[in-house]
Structure 1
Amino acid sequence: MTRLQYLALGYFVALMIAASINYIPGLTDADGLAFGIFALDPYDDALHVASALWALAAGLISHKASRTFMILFGAAYLADGVFGIFTGYGFLDMGIFTHASLGLDFSLGRFLANLPHLGLGGLALVAGLRARTA
């Protein structure tokens, strides 16, 4: 197994944790906000599980599959985080289609709410683009 395959397996674990946040007592507040910052709904959970299963399959299949996952997943999640900064909603969970834009906001809260997608997406994209082709 290559490092990129292990990274894909790490993404599987991270995404499954993200999908389970709403179901672990104490991680959401009275308003349903995870860590008091952002709300996760069943669409988000489904997106995280689907992404996790894609990461698991890629990591187990090959270096090339892991590289493809990292590039595509990374670009999609990074773009989703950028959309979140600009509109308050992402496109992966269809939020930009079901809610009116909240407008551009560079507040700490908006940044923290989008940080998981910015961070995971950015790291995956860089890792995938820097990885050697097999």
Structure 2
Amino acid sequence: MTDLQKLCVAYFAVLMIAASLNYVPGLTDEDGLAFGIFALDIYDDALHVASALWALVAGLTSHKAARTFMVLFGLAYLGDGIFGFFTGYGYLDLGIFTNGSAGMDLSLGRILANVPHLLLGGVAVWAGIKNIGRPA
């Protein structure tokens, strides 16, 4: 298993944790905000689980599948995080279609809500393009 495949398996774990946040007692407040910062709904959970399963299958299949996952997933999540700064909602969970734009906002809450997608997406794109741990 190459480093990129191992990273896919790690992404599986991280994304499954993200999908479970709403279901761990004490992590959401009375308004349903995870860590008091952002709301996750069934669409977010489905997106995280689907992405996690894609990561797992790619990681267990081949280095090429892992690289494809990293680049495509990374671009999608990175773009979603950037879009979140401009509108307050992402496109991956269809939030931009179900909510009006909240406008540009660089508040701490908006930053913390979008940083996970920026980090996951950025690292994935970097790892996929750099092709880390490619087989000899």
TM band (smaller chain): over 0.9
Deviation readout 1:84-116 (Å, 9 max, x if unpaired): 000000000000011100000111110101011
Structure-1 residue corresponding to 2:75: 75
Q: Distance in 2 between matches of 1:18 and 1:109?
A: 17
- Give the TM-score, by structure 2 length: 0.96
Structure-2 residue corresponding to 1:66: 66
List aligned pairs for 1:1-134, cutoff 5 A: 1-131=1-131
Q: Distance in 2 between matches of 1:57 and 1:72?
A: 14
Q: Distance in 2 between matches of 1:123 and 1:84?
A: 18
In the alignment, residue 17 of structure 1 is paired with which amino acid?
I
Identity %: 72
Q: Distance in 2 between matches of 1:30 and 1:97?
A: 26
Q: Distance in 2 between matches of 1:28 and 1:39?
A: 9
Which sections of structure 2, spanning at least 5 residues, go unmatched?
Answer: none
- Give the TM-score, by structure 1 length: 0.97
RMSD (Å), alpha carbons:
1.0
SS in 1 for 2:44: helix
Which sections of structure 1, spanning at least 5 residues, go unmatched?
Answer: none
Q: Distance in 2 between matches of 1:109 and 1:19?
A: 20
Deviation readout 1:62-94 (Å, 9 max, x if unpaired): 000000000000000000001100000000000
In the alignment, residue 130 of structure 1 is paired with which amino acid?
K
Give 1:123 deviation, angstroms: 0.6
In the alignment, residue 97 of structure 1 is paired with which amino acid?
F
How many residue pairs get aligned? The number is 134
